[in-house]
Amino acid sequence: MSATVQGAAGDWARPRPRESRRYRVFAALVVGANATALLAAYLTTSHEVPVLDVVLWTALVSVASLLPIYSGRGAWLALDLPLLLGVGFVFGPAIAGMVGLLGAFDRRELRREVSLSRAAFNRAQVSLSAIGGATAFMIAGGHVGRWPVAAIAGLLGLFADCAINYSLVGASTAITSSRNFREVLAEMHLGPARSFIPAYLCFGFLASLIAEAYVALGMAGVLASIAPVLLARQAFQSRHELDHANQRLRVREAALSDVDRRVAHERRDERLVLAGEIHDEVLPPLFKVHLMGQVLRQDLSAGRLLDLDDDLPQLLEATEAAQSAIRDLLGDLRRSPLGSRGLLPTLRLLVEQLETAGSPRIEINAENVEGSEQSQLLLYQIAREALSNATKYSGASSISVRLWSEGGQLRLVIEDDGAGFMQESVDRTRHFGLQFMSERAISCGGELAVESVPGAGTLIVARIPADI
């Protein structure tokens, strides 16, 4: 099961920045090492090989490469491992390397989801891994048909192939994502390691059986060996889906335990909005009522009864203004779950609070959108979560917020120029923000996209139906 590096994906993705110079140098070194290893292996090959059989074997490797399984952690795992090792056990390192270089086909290349340098690196590291596995088999004295020596040598070849493949892909991922190499390496598996490793060993051991089938039956034996390879793929895929479902279940359970705290924060935001409205709209007319009451009291105490004709209307006017402000506030609270002014003013108040607390500059480019109570509340919750994450973790110098309505949808875009992150590296068992935002959008038939590149900031785009 060969690992390859993941490329850019996603319909909402921004153009990714070009690969760093460090990565391009690393990829060039790997490609150069592969060319050197291929040349050395070819010069030491003395026996002739059946060209048609090698071509057919290359085609089978290509088919296997077209059925990868995404690990969910930044690498794709293709099921070409037993075929590549098998051809190496039969024909030696040179043929194994050529089959790996030509046959390790990646459908992402056709969709232009990987750059030329990354595609060359992926093919070169698969070829190097096949050469390493075949060389280890040969050094260990392996010879197809001689058991148990062939089986033991085959396992050594598997270990060599795995060590080269995983080391190179892990180093590449660590360079592109600015993560720790050991951390990346520990995540390159499907499901729990305790079940993945034995399954991987058994899967790799198929290489010896495929080599034996070829010696005994020719290409017909190799074709017959495709069945257990496909069966193994289905087993890995099912295990991956089960592990993913279990992980989502654990995250949901943990998220539910976090609901009380988040509800408390939402209520606190609502209280702050309400307090601001009372301070701005209700207290001024009430203060004037109190002030005019004092004036009337002084008029009566001093016997200035004629002054009552001037002061009493002002008292009545202030009383009516206070009543109107309270009536409007209560009416707006009944109409909107976001306070008396709706989504945009509440969002501006949130920005003011964050900037007061020390957040970077937040620029708002928004219009006063119309939408149902639920749609406005959901969009506000997404905005608050995204802004909170950006101010706490991004290290950004500026954050921009865009809000508008279009085609019956409310649209929100929040972008920062911070450090960015790899979504695969987020521990979703402890950090629920991304999942909360996504599930809130999906719950009402909307969409949420998160695009982040290490060193190039983060972009969050949300679409919510205006009338839910």
Q: What is the pLDDT of residues 56-95, one digit of tens each?
A: 989 888 887 777 766 555 556 667 888 888 899 999 999 9
* Domain assignment of residue 377, given as a range: 342-468
Whether 290 and 348 share a structural domain: no
Whether 196 and 233 share a structural domain: yes
- Most confident range, picked from 193-202, 253-262, 375-384: 375-384
Angle between helices 81-91 and 93-103 (to 10 degrees): 150
- Most confident range, picked from 174-188, 274-288, 344-358: 344-358
Band of pLDDT at residue 148, cut at 50, 70 and 90: confident
Whether 176 and 48 share a structural domain: yes
**What local confidence, expressed as pLDDT, does residue 369 receive?**
83
Whether 237 and 374 share a structural domain: no
Query: Residue 41 above 80 pLDDT?
Result: yes
Whether 181 and 54 share a structural domain: yes
Mean pLDDT score of the chain, rounded to an integer?
Answer: 77
Q: What is the mean pLDDT of residues 42-49?
A: 79
Whether 134 and 155 share a structural domain: yes
CA–CA distance, 275 with 346 (Å, rounded to integer): 12
CA–CA distance, 150 with 152 (Å, rounded to integer): 6
Residue that terminates a domain, selected from 228, 256, 284: 256
Percentage of the chain with pLDDT > 90?
14
Q: How many Cβ atoms from other residues are within 10 Å of residue 365's Cβ?
A: 10
**What local confidence, expressed as pLDDT, does residue 411 receive?**
92
Whether 223 and 91 share a structural domain: yes
Query: Residue 11 above 50 pLDDT?
Result: no
Whether 400 and 450 share a structural domain: yes
Whether 85 and 63 share a structural domain: yes
Residue that terminates a domain, selected from 316, 339, 362: 339
Residue that terminates a domain, selected from 200, 234, 256: 256
**What local confidence, expressed as pLDDT, does residue 256 receive?**
55
What's the whole-model pTM score? Answer: 0.56
Domains identified in the chain, total number: 3
Whether 436 and 452 share a structural domain: yes
Band of pLDDT at residue 195, cut at 50, 70 and 90: low
**What local confidence, expressed as pLDDT, does residue 13 receive?**
40
Query: Residue 354 above 60 pLDDT?
Result: yes
45-81 burial: b if 16+ Cβ within 10 Å, else e:
eeeebeeebbeebbebbbbbbeebbebebbbbbbbbb
Whether 368 and 404 share a structural domain: yes
Please state which of the ranges 46-60, 86-100, 165-179, 187-201 shows the lowest mean pLDDT: 187-201
Query: Residue 253 above 70 pLDDT?
Result: no
Whether 315 and 364 share a structural domain: no
